Amino acid sequence: MLQEQQTLGWAGGRAVTMLTVYLVLLIAIPSSAAISALGSLGRPAMLWGIVMLVWWVVAKLQSRVADVRASRDLIRFAYVAFIVVALISFAVAIFRGQPADQVSPAFTALVRLMSWAGVLLIAIDGIRTSSDLERIVRRIGIAAGLLAVLGIAQFITKSSLLEFFGQIPGITMPFVDVAERGGVARVPGTAIHPLEYATTLNAALPLVIAAAVSHGFHWRLTKGKLGWWIPVALISLSALIAVSRSAIIGFAVAALTMLPELPRRYRAVVIIGGVVLAAGAIIAIPGLLATTLNLFAGASNDPSTQSRTGGLARVPGFIAASPVVGVGFGTFLPRYYIFDNQWVLIAIELGALGIIAFGGIFLTAIWSGFGARRRSTDPGTRLLGYALAASVVNIAVLFAFFDGLSFPQSGGMFFLIVGLCGAIRSISSADAVPAAPRRPLT
């Protein structure tokens, strides 16, 4: 293992550093901000993902050893299959002929796939020890907690608080304002849309809960036991005041999936704490309870719900244009229809093959997380494997409520967590059996 980490320049601590830089660019910089000269390709997190992909390729070409465990990593194959389907769909769409304004978005979508590939591969191949995995997960928890703080500040001030980014020379940032629903502010954090913000936080919530239960994945830690419950409370509060059905559903999925895995002494605390937090928010924020209840009670009359349900009747007509490989990844623009459903959008853009490949990414990631829980004897690794799988389940549910891959922050967080699912599978496999043999490269 040491020899391989020395050969692969991005392994170990370097991988954690590279993923941390990506996380900071993804969360700290507004999703709408981009380098002016590069247009839609100028988002810092996407560019850093491309850097990581190039770094991974160069390191692989320079490596003198090959780890046979990589051939058993199903997440890698699922993502490669997804890229292959996207490339075939893109080629078919170009040969079929596309309006001029659809070619550039399609090309940008492929670049995003390459960027996400860099994130995923660095996570899978670079994170090879439990300590490195725990470090990056803790940093995800810290980033999510700080993002929740920003959202709460936006809620209080009813201002984005991010206008200064647009004043930086060479940076273009369309203004994202704090919207309102029922007189209650809907905050976006650093995301483009409140749903993207909610998805990012809810995706991180199972990981933060796992860190809180295990005291930062160090079960014998005697100090600072309450520290990790602070970001749990902040994220939970952000979900409760989001004035969004999707945010509340995502929070419920995260909490319910994690509850069975918590030690018994924590379950009552979590339930009671959640009730107290919700009651406090309802008392402190006039109109929050009525607006939230109306989101569900009046869902049948809500324009967004009607648009989603009415749009499902139009799906077969769009799919019929190319049912196998779709109309082309990134070519179905909002001017045709806004489905607010990533699964439907994949079915239209990539067809049946795309749905199979996309679902394969979710299934292999969930299987890897649960597999790590089953194989490992370390309590921290077992809990973290379960939490990673729960996070992917949460994202799968939330992607049914909006087109998450169309938004930088939610898409980037998804593939970062999927990559960590692959990493924990390798770590748990190495703990369970002797190290896999390495064969010289010829």
**Short-list 97, 94, 203, 199, CA closest to 141:** 203
Q: Which structure tokens are listed for 28?
A: 């700290």
Convert 80-139 into a string of H (helix), E (strand) and C (coil).
HHHHHHHHHHHHHHHHHCCCHHHHHHHHHHHHHHHHHHHHHHHHHHHCCCHHHHHHHHHH
Beta bridge partners of 440: 65
- What local confidence, expressed as pLDDT, does residue 6 receive? 44
pLDDT of residue 11: 63
- What pLDDT does 401 receive? 86
Burial class, 145, CB count within 10 angstroms (exposed 0-12 / middle 13-18 / buried 19+):
buried
Residues composing the chain: 442
Give how far Cα 396 sits from Cα of 80, 91, 200, 301, Å. Answer: 19, 28, 12, 26
- Residue 306: the pLDDT is 60
pLDDT confidence of residue 1: 42
pLDDT tens per residue, range 299-311: 556 666 666 666 6
As a whole number of angstroms, the distance between CA 439 and CA 442 comes to 9
What does the domain layout of the chain look like in residue ranges?
2-61+77-434
pTM of the model: 0.89
Q: Walk along the chain (442 residues) and give the pLDDT tens digit of each residue.
A: 444 444 455 566 789 999 999 999 999 999 989 998 888 889 999 999 999 999 999 888 877 665 555 556 899 999 999 999 999 999 988 888 878 778 888 889 999 999 999 999 999 999 988 899 999 999 999 999 999 999 999 988 888 888 888 788 988 888 777 777 766 778 888 998 888 999 999 999 999 999 888 876 664 444 446 678 889 989 988 887 777 778 888 888 988 899 888 888 778 777 887 778 777 777 767 666 666 666 556 555 666 666 666 667 778 888 888 899 998 888 887 777 777 889 999 999 999 999 999 999 999 999 999 999 888 888 888 899 999 999 999 999 999 888 899 999 999 999 999 999 999 998 887 665 554 444 444 4
- Say if residue 168 is exposed, middle or buried (CB neighbours under 10 Å; 0-12, 13-18, 19+): exposed
For residue 165 the two structure tokens come to: 């980014």
Sequential DSSP letters for 390-410? HHHHHHHHHTTTS-GGGSHHH
Q: How far apart are CA 147 and CA 141, in angstroms?
A: 10
Contacts of 298 (CB under 8 A, 6+ apart): none
In terms of DSSP bridges, do strands 65-67 and 438-440 run parallel, antiparallel, or are they unpaired? antiparallel
Strand pairing report for 438-440 and 179-181: unpaired
State the residue for tokens 């009730």.
275
